[in-house]
Amino acid sequence: MKLGWLALFFWFALAQAEDVLYLYNWNNYIGEETLARFEARCRCRVKQDYYSDNEEMLAKLEAGAEGYDIIVPTGNAVESLIRRGALRPIDKSRLPHFENVKREFRDLWFDPGNRYSVPYATSITLLGYNIEKMRELNLPTDTWALIFEPKYLAKIKGKVTVLNSQRELMAAAMKYLGHSVHTTDIAAWEAAKRLILAAKPYWATFSNSTYIKDLAIGNIWVAHGYSNDMFRARADAQAAGRPFTIGFSTPKEGAVLAVDSFVLHKSGRRPDLAHRFIDFMLEGENAADVSNVIGAGNTNAAAMPYIKPEIAREPAIFPPPEILGRLEMLRDFDPKMRRTLARMWTEIKVR
Amino acid sequence: MTKAERAMRWFVTLPPAAFLLVFFLAPALIVVVASFREPGEFGGLAPFTQPTVEAYAFLLGDLVYAEIFARSFFVATLTTLICLALAYPLAWLIAQSPKKRRDLLVLLVILPFASNFLVRIYAWIILLGPLNLLYTPIAVVLGMVYVHLPFMILPLYANLEKHDAALLEAAQDLGASAWTRFWRVTFPLSLPGIFSGSALVFIPVLGMFAVPELLGGTGDILIGNLIKEQFLDNRDWPLGSALSILLTVLVLALAGVAAWAARRGIKGAEALT
């Protein structure tokens, strides 16, 4: 009898020690049911750690964090991890469902040939707004002019927030002025800085997360932010029975697109489980969850039939080709350019 | 001093000294070294070739940075003065109250520490929103005062509590009015408390980035935010390090002046007693 218990104990201990997949993920970026289904299928456990931006994740890895099997970085962070030699190549022979990835999201600039990364989900940095207020004040919602032109801003002074991110805010200004966000033309960036400085007095604050709550409550009427967040603000406002609705759309001048991919970290101990996980997430039904639950765009063609029609129809989540062509992904600049832009950003904050 | 006493002295001072060496001096030196290096392509530092003063030249050659320093020192000074004005009467009242009640009152002063600092700042967001004060410089100073007030009250109380009541009685016997008793006796004697309280408020305010980030508006950036941005958002460690060094040097210079003033003040007070 005693031996039996002991054996059972060891069996448990071994099961625990063996089959755990460590996932380092964005906050709220995978459905709990999706994870439960994977755990049931692989008879293993998934343990998650979270980050709220790429820099935080990179900094933690740089400081020596180890043992993560899978990370979910955005394009420029994938590139950075590849060039640092921090990733394990992906064995596509173990991913029979890789073919489900949409053509337009394969072979992206940060990882030609998808040797290290498998796209998971997308988001767009765009404008969220209080639909009723915009209609009442007769304001356009399909252009960056809404947050940059004083003639519109005058009507919504103190009711606008923009992202507290040099890259994102300056990119929005660059798109409005008709420039690429990749240009190293200092004069163009200076023009973007002047545009921001002229609009700044009308903004309430720079905000990276509080705008979700502020939009849903009605404290602010326009926010520059991420499509997933706007999706949540809309749901929150709806759930609270507010007398208004939150809408969001991609400005016609173009915007920033973020593609988040699964990558395998070199320090991960279970590449076998990690491949199984990625392949599981590539199955249409599982891939659809990220769109249905958190309103992210989907890079998986097989997922589309499983996505709720009202979400699949949302152009701010699934951009039609003519908008997709005007979206750009952020890339890292060299240190010198970064310092120049940081200087402009400081000036934006001070003046 | 006997040999045993000397050994004991070493034994007692070694652990804190080692702690400071490892966790203060060594990191500080790393920051100094980093400030003379070049930023790496993906953050961190570039492979070392030769020291460069580029980061310092960049900061000193530009008025924008001087402006942020000036603004931060202004906010820190304002916060310190408001804390002092609020804390002095309170500390005095606590020191005057019956011995039994004092402990309870001091406990009340430190009670806010029992809840997390960020939670308390979020509470201010809820309070200030309807008052239309959220995202303004006033909100920043309010938040700063709120967070740092106990650090002013406690040293002042510790000082005021020790004052010898006989001195005030003597002053009264000699015909001093209430104001004269305060200004010529209590105030000079409390100078050490004022100085240590002010240092405990002024210096942390300079480095605080959470309060302006959460309560401040589009223009409320302080050095703390600037330094944080260099490390986390911009991945320019040398620039962030150089900013930290400049801040440290300025604060040390200021602390030097304050210590000198305090010594003079205390000497004056001693002459009085």
Q: CA Rg, chain B, in Å?
A: 23
The count of CB pairs under 8 A between chains A and B is 84
In a domain, A57, yes or no: yes
Q: What is this structure's pTM? A: 0.82
Residue B56 has a pLDDT of 94
A157 touches B at CB < 8 Å: no
Residue with tokens 């002013």: B152
Provide the token pair at B226. Answer: 């600037």
Provide the token pair at A191. Answer: 């023009």
Which residues lie across from A269 on neighbouring strands?
none
* Alpha carbon distance B85, B71 (integer Å): 21
Structural domain boundaries in chain B: 63-272
- A171 and A58 within one domain: no
Residue A58 has a pLDDT of 85
* Alpha carbon distance B48, B35 (integer Å): 12
A344 touches B at CB < 8 Å: no
Compute, in degrees rounded to 10, the torsion defined by CA atoms B147, B149, B152, B153: -130
Are A342 and B64 in contact (CB < 8 Å)? no
Query: Helix (H) and strand (E) counts for chain B?
Result: 13, 0
- A305 and A174 within one domain: no
* Alpha carbon distance A81, B144 (integer Å): 39
In a domain, A324, yes or no: no
Determine the residue type at A107. Answer: D
A190 touches B at CB < 8 Å: no
Q: What is the CATH number of domain B63-272?
A: 1.10.3720.10
For chain B, which residues score pLDDT lower than 50?
Answer: none
Determine the residue type at A132. Answer: E
In a domain, A343, yes or no: yes
- A142 and A62 within one domain: no
Contacts of A338 in chain B (CB under 8 A): 39, 234-236
* Pairing of β A160-162 and β A222-226: parallel
Nearest beta carbon to residue A59 from set B221, B232, B234:
B232
Contacts of A165 in chain B (CB under 8 A): 233
From first to last of its 351 residues, chain A has per-residue pLDDT tens of: 455 555 555 555 555 556 899 999 998 899 899 999 999 999 999 999 998 888 888 878 877 889 999 999 999 999 999 998 999 999 999 999 999 999 999 999 999 999 999 999 999 999 999 999 999 999 999 999 999 999 999 999 999 999 988 999 999 999 999 999 999 999 999 999 999 999 999 999 898 888 998 899 998 999 999 999 999 999 999 999 999 999 999 999 999 999 999 999 999 999 999 999 999 999 999 999 999 999 999 999 999 999 999 999 999 999 998 899 999 999 989 888 988 998 999 899 888
Question: How close does chain B come to A333, measured CA to CA in Å?
Answer: 8
Q: Scanning every residue of chain B, which has its alpha carbon at the shortest distance from the alpha carbon of A84?
A: B42
In a domain, A13, yes or no: no
Tell me the residue range of the domain where A179 lies: 123-256+329-350
B27 touches A at CB < 8 Å: no
Q: What is the DSSP string of A64-110?
A: T----SEE--BHHHHHHHHHTT-EEPP-GGG-GGGGGB-GGGSS-TT
Which residues lie across from A130 on neighbouring strands?
A246
Are A343 and B58 in contact (CB < 8 Å)? yes
Residue B106 has a pLDDT of 93
Provide the token pair at B33. Answer: 């070294």
- A158 and A63 within one domain: no
- A133 and A115 within one domain: no
B64 touches A at CB < 8 Å: yes
CATH number of the domain that residue A72 is part of? 3.40.190.10
Provide the token pair at A223. Answer: 């926010």
- A95 and A26 within one domain: yes
- A271 and A144 within one domain: no
Are A56 and B232 in contact (CB < 8 Å)? yes
Handedness of CA B10, B13, B15, B18 (dihedral sign): negative
Residue B255 has a pLDDT of 83
* Pairing of β A160-162 and β A297-298: unpaired
In a domain, A6, yes or no: no
In a domain, A3, yes or no: no
Question: What's the domain count of chain A?
Answer: 2
Q: Scanning every residue of chain B, which has its alpha carbon at the shortest distance from the alpha carbon of A200?
A: B218
Q: Scanning every residue of chain A, which has its alpha carbon at the shortest distance from the alpha carbon of B130?
A: A219
Residue with tokens 């500080």: B28
Residue B256 has a pLDDT of 86
B209 touches A at CB < 8 Å: no
- A211 and A135 within one domain: yes
8 A C-beta contact, residue A118 and residue A300: no
Handedness of CA A212, A213, A214, A217 (dihedral sign): positive
In a domain, A35, yes or no: yes
- A127 and A114 within one domain: no
